[in-house]
Structure 1
Amino acid sequence: MNPFTFNTTKSILCRPGAAAELDRHAGALLGPRVLVVTDPGLRKLGLTDPAIAALRGAGHEVTIFDAVEADPSVATLMATLEAGHAAEATGILGFGGGSSLDVAKVAALLLGSDQPLDEAWGVGNARGPRLPLVLVPTTAGTGSEVTPVAILTVGGEEKRGVSTPLILPDIALLDAELTLGLPASITAATGVDAMVHAIEAYASANANNNPLSRMLAREALRLLGANIETAMRDGSDVAAREAMLLGSMLAGQAFANSPVAAVHALAYPVGGIFHIPHGLSNALVLASVLRFNLPIAAETYAEIAADAFPQLADHPLDTRAEAFLRELQALSGRLQMPQRLRDVGIPEDALPRMAADAMKQQRLLVNNPRPVTEADALAIYTEAW
């Protein structure tokens, strides 16, 4: 066995309705002055109200920053820091999808350490300490509540990350009631995103690919594959929603330690340039990247095929990986997701620029089972178009 390191969130609470008891679960940790980081959509829907009411009812001062957008910008982070400094925040509560959780993670780090952001970019450059941090996901997709990475948009298009175990939260609180009624399109896109995390973690060429990550990735695929269509069709199915939330978290734990690769690297320009949601960006390039990897990774994909799609257990082993790709594409169709890059308005003449931009994601590309050149990236985009 190769040596490996496995880091994850210190405490995980999974129970419907737990957010309404946040004061009991995390009040002492967060301290007297709590900064809530979320987005305007969640605030309008009232999903944050029970948690905020619980904290205020227990005597905490609560400041709400609810301006986080999809693919959050550095400017949004700076506004969050300003709100945190003004409130003299003693703890950070991130509430929402991956965008809000990522902003909350970096805000907790920089408010706790006063380290400049430019010194924290990259892997292992953060100094810490950070403020106490609690993350509450409201989508089943990013797994951000258990990952040591936060992604921000720089200059309008470039994705840049802060990667350090310091930004793993103290508590991840999984409350399936917060995901009830999530729109079908978001359920589908975020669910496929979580499946991509599991697939890429399992097949990662990273030296830290390890038995724990592989085990978690397979259980994630079992949960996600068995429940994603039910969750999309019936947004009120608590059992399916909870299974999706848990599957997303397990996939997050897997790729937090056995990092993702070319699917994500090629998805970033799709989101960064054309502002396509991250989960959908992954789905649009998934099959084409996996097909590119087949000469190297067919056996690996065959190992996990039946986890996501149990009917493939009886499929001949030597063609099971190809069948896995077909099932992933068929699932995307059943989930009523756009199937090709052209379907989301990406023009063919943008593909060379996207290929060049994808090459900036070397921290991800090095984890791919098969090396990816710029010409390879263009060919993959062309197939996906």
Structure 2
Amino acid sequence: MSTSIILPRIMQIGEGASDDISSVVLSLGCYHPLIVTDKVMVQLGYIATIQSNLRDNGIESQVYDETIPEPTTASLLAGVDLVRHGHFDSIIAVGGGSPIDSAKAISILGIHGGQMRDYKVPRIVNKQGLPVIAIPTTAGTGSEATRFTVITDEKTDEKMLCMGNGFMPTATLLDFNLTLSAPPRVTADTGIDALTHAIEAYVSRKANQYSDFQALTAMRLLTANLRAVFHDGYNKPARKSMMLGAHLAGVAFSNASVALVHGMSRPIGAAFHVPHGLSNAMLLPAVTRFSIPAATERYADCARAMGIAEASESDKIANEKLITELESLNEELKVPSLAEFGVERKKFFELMPLMAEQALASGSPDNNPVIPTSEQIIAIYQSLWDAV
């Protein structure tokens, strides 16, 4: 059986790749891009540099910097309005996963109209919006190479997964220099997010030979460098490897899928505003322990790719080491518990049935080695609190 592989049409990878923004825009036949970003990127001077580069090459741009972490339908409205009433022919997305996800949504809504809810799964969105040129500034989400976007409906606190080729960026510029300013907490959360992408893509029921190669390579790069960049953000070789690893993990899960961790993570983020990578980190050890019995060889492969188990060791030992490593990684990267983050226990327990329902509705748990019941998801949620 063949596998359909979807990638950005153009990829510039390496130090200084963002300097090529003008040539990429012009190669697409575009002259009037909207830059979608956040205020941090403006404050750091990244947007001024990009606009100067564009202006020097005869390209006039406008900036929309109102995106927010964990974007909502409301946070998109002003950007969508700009596209609908402006004369833009492309979008340049600069920032972490939230600005890039926002740009993807604005691209589709601005051209095709409707509400974000109209585009959530199970609908597959293959029609194209404005071409998106993604310039990530974190090594984590992989959004620059995925056909997904996640937007929260703030009225229902549902994180809506939207997917299809229409959400795949047309071009991606991977410049690890733009990640040097990321603080330790962001570095840790986005790095574990990327590691989760790689692991889930490899154990997914939709895994294929192509995604397997990307996922295993990503695991090697991420595990070898995540601790280093957490402790020293200006370690350029480690930042370079993290950027490539996160990108490959994005390619892997975009062409396979994520699974139970992501299905359970989105409701936590929507209800309690826990950053996506952080909720993934909280869940990864428990979900891995739950899922190993149905994919012992696959999870053992992960442990070996991560360099924490020898090829000569049994799958059982490799998987024990995998769980130990995931717990150790959370401890070293100072991943807080739900209580330490400030989640209210009573509200969390009250919402567990709804969160389980939302997790299952996302479709991601159906890709897990063990397809869980609502009761099993609730039990895993509860274990996060019981472990404190």
The TM-score, its normalising length taken from structure 1, stands at 0.94
Q: Does 1:64 align with 2:100?
A: no
Q: Compute the displacement of 1:112 (Å).
A: 3.4
Find the aligned partners of 2:71 and 2:38 in 1 and give their Cα distance.
10
> What does residue 155 of structure 1 align with?
154
Q: Compute the displacement of 1:191 (Å).
A: 0.4
1:309–1:327 contact (8 Å) kept in structure 2: no
- Write out aligned runs for 1:247-262 (5 A): 247-262=245-260
Q: Compute the displacement of 1:153 (Å).
A: 0.5
> What does residue 273 of structure 1 align with?
271
- Letter in structure 2 aligned against 1:7: I
The residue matched to 1:276 in structure 2 has which SS?
coil
Relative to structure 2, which stretch is displaced further, 182-191 or 159-168? Answer: 159-168
Find the aligned partners of 1:378 and 1:125 in 2 and give their Cα distance.
28
- Letter in structure 1 aligned against 2:279: S
1:268–1:358 contact (8 Å) kept in structure 2: no
Q: May I ask how many residue pairs the two structures share in their alignment?
A: 381
The residue matched to 2:46 in structure 1 has which SS?
coil
Question: Against the structure 1 CA distance between its residues 312 and 75, is the aligned structure 2 distance closer, same or farther, given a 3 Å change threshold?
Answer: same
Find the aligned partners of 2:112 and 2:358 in 1 and give their Cα distance.
28
Q: Compute the displacement of 1:28 (Å).
A: 3.9
- Letter in structure 2 aligned against 1:27: L
Q: Compute the displacement of 1:56 (Å).
A: 1.7
1:276-306 C-alpha deviation (Å, 9 max, x unpaired): 1100000001111111112212221011102
Find the aligned partners of 2:351 and 2:111 in 1 and give their Cα distance.
38
Find the aligned partners of 1:25 and 1:374 in 2 and give their Cα distance.
46
> What does residue 346 of structure 1 align with?
343
Q: Compute the displacement of 1:100 (Å).
A: 0.6
RMSD between aligned residues: 1.7
Unaligned ranges ≥5, structure 1: none
Q: Compute the displacement of 1:149 (Å).
A: 0.5
Which of 257, 260, 263 is 2:261 aligned to? 263
- Letter in structure 2 aligned against 1:286: L
The TM-score, its normalising length taken from structure 2, stands at 0.93
Relative to structure 2, which stretch is displaced further, 113-122 or 82-91? Answer: 113-122
- Letter in structure 2 aligned against 1:108: S
1:19–1:50 contact (8 Å) kept in structure 2: no
Q: Does 1:302 align with 2:297?
A: no
1:153–1:159 contact (8 Å) kept in structure 2: yes
> What does residue 231 of structure 1 align with?
229
1:94–1:101 contact (8 Å) kept in structure 2: yes
Q: Compute the displacement of 1:246 (Å).
A: 0.7
Q: Percent identity, please.
A: 34
1:336-365 C-alpha deviation (Å, 9 max, x unpaired): 222x32221223331341342232233111
The residue matched to 1:194 in structure 2 has which SS?
helix
Find the aligned partners of 1:355 and 1:368 in 2 and give their Cα distance.
19
Find the aligned partners of 1:226 and 1:30 in 2 and give their Cα distance.
40
Unaligned ranges ≥5, structure 2: none
1:65-85 C-alpha deviation (Å, 9 max, x unpaired): 001101111112221111223
- Write out aligned runs for 1:1-385 (5 A): 2-29=1-28, 31-114=30-113, 117-126=116-125, 128-156=127-155, 157-206=157-206, 209-313=207-311, 315-338=313-336, 340-349=337-346, 350-362=348-360, 363-385=363-385
